[in-house]
């Protein structure tokens, strides 16, 4: 190291003579190694051994040059973090502080200064989106930085002075050799020129398929590009590469998403052990099993260790209960200990089921994400060679969002890259919001100790405190919300950029009702968009509870704003998807009444409550005593059946398990006073007893059974709609065994959902077609638990997703110009100009009730067994004081977790934050009021940080929730929207008039193109083209005779059948069906094999390799017949002749089609003449077409005239030789060309 003025320059130790380049570093293109291992020059006057040219002068780089190098105004903190020494370090990056830019800049610095090559860098993050963003930033940074050094030597180091594996290691703030802007040639990564800021090209040295190519400019030291992936993808690659070291098959299948719950449910159903303490329903136990197994994996705890822990703890608890009972007035405390005993016993039983669940995964050869990391930890701990290989592959490691890693992930990373390896972790403890799914913020706090430097000292800590996103006044609010978090984790306050120190506004509102609040949020955003302050895509609404989404979604749509729901309740809660799922459920299970009711009351069928009640009574009548169910199902066609009287009174409708739809206003009569019905023997029974008396317990009420015959109580309009639905379901059920995607597409087509979503302006605004497309993508990627892609398996997957994963989350925002509606958890890492956070109401946000203490919830792993126990509430005894302290610590822990979430929500806004709450919730009977967060926003606004738009006073004593009034008066089904309904009726009348004109033979009026816009004319042209295609398809579907296109390639047997039975061949081509085994074919195959063996022309496939060769009894039954065939052949004219070829394969073109086959035998007759022979072991007369094809094939193979080839059939049994008249070549061509 040498000093020059105030700049330091760093070189590397010289490469020893005779040394080899480091891994991945080859000789320069066209060069190679000269004497002593030094690179030879590529050419020029000194090529061939002369003295090398002097190296071009190098320009020293200092950290501050990163600003010019990348064109980014980095802060001093960012430069210090990006240019840190090549050693372990952690960057605590506050919200919006530019952590991704710093990680990319660090890679550029290390590459530009010659410390690493691009391919030496490994980056890990949590989502593929984040991985793609980091990769893009690094690529652009390397492209913008350009080359470092010259073509005469490696980057930043004089030629011949770089040692393999020994990087130059500058200190913090030190410089290194490199180039400055204006001194660049070809880039490190092939990208846009400085004068071409357009898109970005692929990295230098790589084609699209990943094949390495020489870098432009001849810099052979530039190899590869940084590898950036998710933590789980990295673990999967690790296990795939080294699975055999652990006894795991490399071809394992990854079990993810709801499929885990399917397997867990199967394990629970098959469990045969004692179950005494687990009393929750099966669906909840499934979630508990998966949750506990995931926590065990995240903290590397074996189920047996958990069971042993609980056994010891049960002894302690029972002793504490015995002691508590001796104390007077201590019943409440003893009851608490009793609940803890029940939780411990339940957890022991659940641990046994976890062991069975893991055994089931092993038997199916599947693993989940938790297993990936667990196995990776085993590799890191028990196979040192793996760590050495990974460290050699990744000389620098970047860990993004490190506060969200689990204990197992930290163990994996420390095991692979510990011991002073250059690891840089980036994270923010104030944004650690994923503790509920296994993340441990203690990993970030403990990084300096977990990843020590080579000298044993803790890793250095760097801080980024300048927020590049939000205005200063918004950051002041965020600092207030996170004050306790900053003190706990020793994190500095966020600071704004100087130019926005006084920017950022907070608008606060407390409304009387939730309904008023959602209207205010929608109206405020509408006003902002109309004023041009932000586009819809620059606005977001973030919620704490998923249940808030429907009301906000409806309000935003009513305000005329485009909305995109991101992940909330997932796709399954959206109406267009729910209708498809309901149809699939009815197709799979005719007794799925709940799904059928959704279809009956939906926008297509719109069955009113009177008709629905009548349908329920008809369905119950079909299964009552004395009713022949089969007779009901086999009623005459609609319109021919006799009327039936209802067999139960309206007052009892709705009590049976499946129907339960009508009483009160739902009585059968449309005048509101339904018939009382005859008083039967059941009228004196209890309604519940009456509902179940006389019904087979194995039978259920199925509304689908009576859709065609709903009875006379149903109105004529309702009956017509029910029969329409029944016809659609019959049509769809006939195709339910088709591939899953085909079934879903057919459902969408038959129900007209695709047309409805395209034609409705409201649906277009709400992006409902995109939601349906996302659901179809889920189906396309579905793989069942047992590789079963059926409708039933897919529905089981969806049920597990709905019950245990709160629906199928959509991915990140699509980038459309629409208001983003999502949970706060989904918003992490995103930013908008305007952010609204509604429902900052008491007990809603922040949540104040701890729901999952390990002491009382069996699915939670006990804190003493967790790897981050020191950071969690501790139970230090079982007396009253210890339990009270534990409860207080749990409450404080929950408060910290909620403050992290609030901090994330409030730091998403760049310029405007809307915070609101209410007194009366949608269905609450007690008022809520402002939460602690809303109070803090209110105080901040009053102090000059914004304004208070509304602050409603608390309700007076005795006041009730106004939103509960009038709920019983809702219309059902809901009336159509008047304007849209009138528009549809007008269009329907026009279409009806056009159809009448066509029926009467009158022409339709011409389209008025003059009054159309160019876009409308283009749309009309496209619609006309679509209509022509649909009409052509309809005509084809209605044809009595279906035309089947002849394939371009045929076998000789198919050519024979084409001439003899073209209709039969067409049927087989249209719908290929397996054929039963034919003994004669088996004998023929055996005979051909014997002939080939006799003439020593054995084929590549032996007889014993053929399908069915191992079938029992076949050979024994055919032995006598085979012997007779052999004797007959030896006595034939060909028995003593030696063929020129046996089973000669051919392929030739006839009439533009390829014909393939094999000729049984060919004999050389001499003088350029040949004879092809086809053995026939059967007794039936053969078709000469096959022999004509063989003759033509051999003539072409040998290049002789067709009349130089004779052809014959040998009927082996009789020894008869037949030489029939054969088709000529033109006749064969005509046969194939005209078919």
785 three-state secondary structure: coil
Structure tokens at 714: 């149903």
From residue 1055, alpha-carbon distances to 333, 533, 1177, 1232 in Å are 90, 74, 20, 8
Q: What is the CATH number of domain 5-233+378-467?
A: 3.40.50.300
Burial label for 294, CB within 10 Å (0-12, 13-18, 19+), is buried
Q: What is the pLDDT of residue 1080?
A: 59
Q: What is the pLDDT of residue 10?
A: 32
Between CA 295 and CA 120 the distance in angstroms is: 33
Q: What is the pLDDT of residue 700?
A: 66
* Residue 124 and residue 397 in contact, taking contact as beta carbons nearer than 8 Å: yes
Higher pLDDT, 777 or 518: 518
Residue 522's pLDDT band, with cuts at 50, 70 and 90, is very high
Q: How far is CA 668 from the centre of its chain?
A: 47
Structure tokens at 327: 């104390």
Q: Taking residues 339-363, report their average pLDDT.
A: 92
Kind and range of the H or E run holding 232: helix 231-242
- pLDDT averaged over the chain? 77
For 199-235, how does the pLDDT look when each residue is reduced to its tens digit (9 = 90+)?
333 333 333 333 333 333 333 334 578 899 989 889 9
Structure tokens at 339: 């609940």
Please report which residue ranges of 1049-1166 form alpha helices under DSSP H.
Answer: 1052-1060, 1062-1070, 1079-1094, 1114-1130
* 920 C-beta neighbours (distance < 10 Å), count: 27
Counting residues of the chain whose pLDDT is more than 70, the rounded percentage is: 75
Q: Taking residues 447-475, report their average pLDDT.
A: 92
Q: What is the pLDDT of residue 481?
A: 92
For 1033-1043, how does the pLDDT look when each residue is reduced to its tens digit (9 = 90+)?
888 777 777 77
Q: What is the pLDDT of residue 774?
A: 80
Counting residues of the chain whose pLDDT is more than 90, the rounded percentage is: 29
Q: Which residues contact 1235 (CB under 8 A, 6 or more apart)?
A: 1046, 1058, 1062
Of 128, 296, 157, the C-alpha closest to 221 is 157
For 1088-1121, how does the pLDDT look when each residue is reduced to its tens digit (9 = 90+)?
677 776 666 544 444 444 433 333 334 444 566 7
Q: Which residues contact 169 (CB under 8 A, 6 or more apart)?
A: 10, 85, 86, 87, 115
Of 1035, 817, 831, the C-alpha closest to 913 is 831
pLDDT score of 251 more than 80: no
**329-333, 559-563, 1190-1194, 1213-1217, range with greatest mean pLDDT:** 1190-1194
pLDDT score of 45 more than 60: no
For 59-99, how does the pLDDT look when each residue is reduced to its tens digit (9 = 90+)?
567 888 888 888 888 999 999 999 999 999 999 998 888 88
* Residue 170 and residue 85 in contact, taking contact as beta carbons nearer than 8 Å: yes
The length of the chain is: 1235
Q: Which residues contact 769 (CB under 8 A, 6 or more apart)?
A: 754, 757, 758, 763
Q: What does DSSP say about strands 227-230 and 253-254: parallel, antiparallel, or unpaired? A: unpaired
Q: Which residues pair with 7 in a beta bridge?
A: 4
Q: What is the pLDDT of residue 1020?
A: 87
Between CA 911 and CA 820 the distance in angstroms is: 16
Between CA 689 and CA 691 the distance in angstroms is: 5
For 545-568, how does the pLDDT look when each residue is reduced to its tens digit (9 = 90+)?
888 888 898 899 889 888 887 764
Residue 1083's pLDDT band, with cuts at 50, 70 and 90, is low
Threshold 0.75, pTM exceeds: no
Q: What is the CATH number of domain 503-558+817-963?
A: 3.40.50.300
Distance separating the N- and C-terminal Cα atoms of the chain: 85
pLDDT score of 816 more than 50: yes
For 1219-1235, how does the pLDDT look when each residue is reduced to its tens digit (9 = 90+)?
999 999 999 988 887 65
Q: Taking residues 897-903, report their average pLDDT.
A: 93
Long-range contacts, 946-950 (Cβ 8 Å, 24+): 946/473, 946/505, 946/506, 946/507, 946/508, 946/913, 947/505, 947/506, 947/507, 947/508, 948/507, 948/508, 948/509, 949/507, 949/508, 949/509, 949/520, 949/524, 950/509, 950/510, 950/511, 950/520
Of 73, 59, 41, the C-alpha closest to 112 is 59
């Amino acid at each position: 190291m040498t000093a020059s003025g105030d700049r330091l320059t760093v070189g590397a130790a010289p490469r020893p003579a005779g040394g080899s380049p480091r891994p991945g570093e080859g000789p320069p293109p066209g060069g190679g190694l000269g004497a002593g291992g030094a690179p030879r020059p590529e050419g020029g006057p000194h090529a061939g051994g002369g003295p090398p040219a002097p190296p071009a002068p190098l320009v020293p780089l200092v950290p501050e040059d990163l600003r010019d190098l990348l064109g980014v105004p980095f802060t001093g903190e960012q430069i210090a973090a990006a240019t840190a020494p090549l050693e372990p370090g952690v960057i605590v990056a506050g919200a919006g502080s530019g952590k991704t830019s710093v990680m990319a800049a660090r890679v550029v610095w290390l590459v530009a200064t010659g410390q690493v090559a691009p391919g030496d860098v490994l980056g890990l993050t949590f989502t593929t989106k984040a991985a793609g963003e980091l990769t893009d930033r690094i690529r652009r940074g390397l492209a913008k930085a350009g080359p470092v050094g010259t073509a005469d030597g490696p980057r930043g180091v004089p030629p011949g002075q770089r040692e393999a594996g020994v990087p130059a290691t500058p200190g913090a703030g030190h410089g290194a050799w490199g180039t400055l802007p204006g001194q660049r040639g070809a880039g490190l990564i092939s990208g846009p020129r400085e004068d071409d800021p357009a898109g970005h090209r692929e990295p230098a040295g790589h084609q699209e398929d990943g094949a390495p190519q020489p870098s432009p400019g001849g810099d052979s030291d530039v190899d590869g590009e940084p590898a950036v992936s998710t933590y789980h993808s990295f673990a999967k690659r690790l296990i795939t590469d080294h699975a055999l070291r652990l006894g795991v098959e490399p071809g394992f299948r990854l079990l993810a998403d709801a499929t885990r719950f399917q397997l867990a449910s199967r394990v629970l159903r098959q469990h045969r052990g004692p179950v005494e303490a687990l009393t929750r329903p099966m669906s909840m136990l499934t979630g508990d099993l998966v949750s506990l197994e995931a926590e065990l994996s995240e903290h590397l705890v074996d189920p047996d260790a958990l069971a042993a822990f609980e056994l010891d703890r049960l002894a302690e608890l029972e002793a504490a209960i015995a002691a508590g009972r001796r104390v007077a007035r201590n019943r409440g405390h003893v009851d608490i200990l009793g609940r803890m005993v029940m939780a411990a016993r339940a957890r022991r039983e659940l641990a046994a089921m976890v062991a069975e669940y893991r055994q089931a995964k092993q038997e199916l050869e599947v693993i989940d994400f938790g297993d990936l990391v667990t196995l990776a930890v085993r590799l890191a701990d028990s196979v040192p060679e793996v760590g050495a290989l990974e460290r050699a592959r990744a000389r620098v490691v970047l860990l993004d969002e490190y506060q969200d890693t689990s204990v197992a992930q930290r163990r994996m990373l420390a095991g692979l890259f510990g011991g002073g390896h250059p690891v840089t972790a980036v994270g923010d403890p104030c944004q650690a919001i994923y503790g509920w799914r296994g993340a441990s913020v203690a990993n970030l706090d403990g990084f300096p100790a977990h990843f020590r430097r080579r000298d044993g000292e803790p890793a250095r800590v760097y801080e980024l405190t300048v927020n590049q996103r939000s205005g200063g006044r918004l950051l002041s609010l965020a600092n207030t919300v996170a004050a306790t978090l900053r003190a706990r984790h020793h994190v500095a306050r966020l600071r704004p950029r100087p130019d926005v120190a006084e920017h950022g506004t907070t608008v606060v509102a407390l409304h009387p009702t939730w309904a008023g609040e959602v209207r205010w949020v929608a109206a405020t955003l509408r006003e902002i968009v109309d004023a041009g302050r932000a586009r819809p895509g620059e606005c977001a609404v973030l919620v704490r509870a998923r249940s808030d989404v429907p009301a906000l979604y409806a309000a935003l749509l009513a305000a005329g704003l485009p909305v995109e729901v991101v992940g909330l309740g997932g796709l399954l809660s959206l109406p267009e998807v729910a209708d498809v799922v309901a149809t699939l459920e009815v197709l799979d299970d005719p007794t799925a009444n709940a799904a059928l009711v959704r279809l009956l009351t939906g926008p297509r069928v719109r069955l009113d409550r009177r008709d629905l009640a009548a349908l329920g009574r008809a369905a119950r009548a079909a299964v009552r005593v004395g009713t022949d169910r089969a007779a009901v199902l086999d009623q005459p066609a609609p319109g021919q059946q006799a009327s039936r009287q209802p067999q139960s009174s309206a007052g009892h409708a709705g009590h049976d398990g499946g129907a339960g739809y009508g009483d009160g206003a739902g009585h059968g009569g449309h005048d509101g006073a339904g018939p009382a019905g005859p008083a039967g023997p059941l009228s004196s029974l209890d309604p519940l007893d009456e509902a179940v008396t006389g019904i087979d317990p194995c039978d259920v009420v199925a509304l689908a059974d009576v859709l065609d015959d709903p009875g006379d109580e149903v109105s004529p309009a309702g009956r017509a709609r029910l029969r329409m639905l029944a016809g659609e379901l019959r049509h769809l059920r006939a195709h339910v065994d088709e591939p899953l995607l085909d079934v879903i597409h057919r459902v969408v087509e038959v129900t007209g959902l695709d047309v409805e979503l395209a034609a409705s302006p409201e649906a277009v605004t709400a992006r409902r077609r995109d939601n349906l497309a996302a659901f179809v993508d889920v189906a396309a990627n579905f793989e069942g638990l047992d590789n079963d892609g059926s409708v039933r398996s897919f529905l089981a997957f969806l049920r597990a997703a709905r019950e245990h994963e709160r629906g199928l989350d959509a991915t990140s925002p699509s980038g459309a110009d629409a208001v983003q509606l999502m949970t706060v958890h989904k918003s992490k890492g995103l930013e908008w100009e305007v952010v609204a956070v509604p429902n900052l109401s008491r007990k809603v946000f922040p949540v104040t009730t701890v729901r999952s203490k390990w002491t009382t919830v069996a699915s939670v792993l006990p804190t003493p067994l967790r790897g981050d126990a020191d950071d969690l509430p501790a139970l230090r005894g079982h007396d009253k004081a210890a339990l009270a302290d534990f409860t207080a610590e749990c409450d404080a822990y929950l408060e910290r977790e909620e403050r992290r979430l609030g901090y994330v929500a409030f730091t998403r806004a760049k310029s405007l934050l809307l915070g609101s709450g209410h007194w009366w919730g949608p269905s609450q009977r007690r008022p809520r009021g402002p939460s602690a967060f809303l109070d803090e926003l209110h105080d901040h606004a009053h102090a000059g940080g914004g304004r208070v738009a509304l602050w409603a006073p608390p309700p007076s004593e005795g006041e009730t929730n106004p939103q509960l009034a009038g709920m019983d008066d809702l219309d059902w089904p809901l009336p159509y929207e008047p304007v849209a309904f009138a528009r549809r009726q007008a269009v329907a009348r026009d279409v009806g008039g056009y159809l009448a004109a066509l029926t009467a033979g009158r022409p339709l009026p011409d389209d008025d193109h003059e009054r159309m816009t160019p876009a409308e004319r283009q749309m009309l042209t496209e619609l006309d083209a679509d209509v022509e295609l649909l009409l052509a398809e309809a005509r084809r579907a209605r044809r009595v005779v279906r035309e089947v296109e002849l394939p371009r390639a045929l076998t000789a047997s198919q050519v024979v059948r084409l001439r003899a039975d073209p209709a039969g061949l067409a049927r087989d081509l249209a719908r290929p069906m397996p054929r039963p085994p034919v003994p004669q074919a088996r004998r023929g195959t055996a005979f051909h094999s014997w002939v080939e063996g006799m003439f020593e022309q054995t084929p590549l496939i032996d007889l014993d390799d053929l399908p069915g060769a191992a079938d029992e009894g076949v050979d024994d039954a055919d032995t006598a017949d085979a012997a007779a065939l052999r004797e007959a052949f030896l006595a034939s004219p060909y028995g003593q002749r030696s063929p020129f070829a046996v089973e000669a394969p051919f392929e030739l073109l006839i009439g533009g089609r390829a014909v393939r086959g094999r000729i049984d035998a060919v004999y050389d007759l001499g003088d350029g003449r040949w004879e092809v022979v086809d053995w026939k072991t059967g007794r039936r007369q053969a078709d000469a077409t096959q022999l004509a094809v063989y003759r033509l094939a051999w003539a072409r193979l040998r290049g002789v005239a067709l009349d130089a080839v004779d052809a014959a059939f040998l009927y082996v049994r009789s020894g008869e030789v037949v030489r029939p008249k054969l088709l000529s070549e033109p006749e064969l061509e005509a046969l194939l060309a005209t078919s």
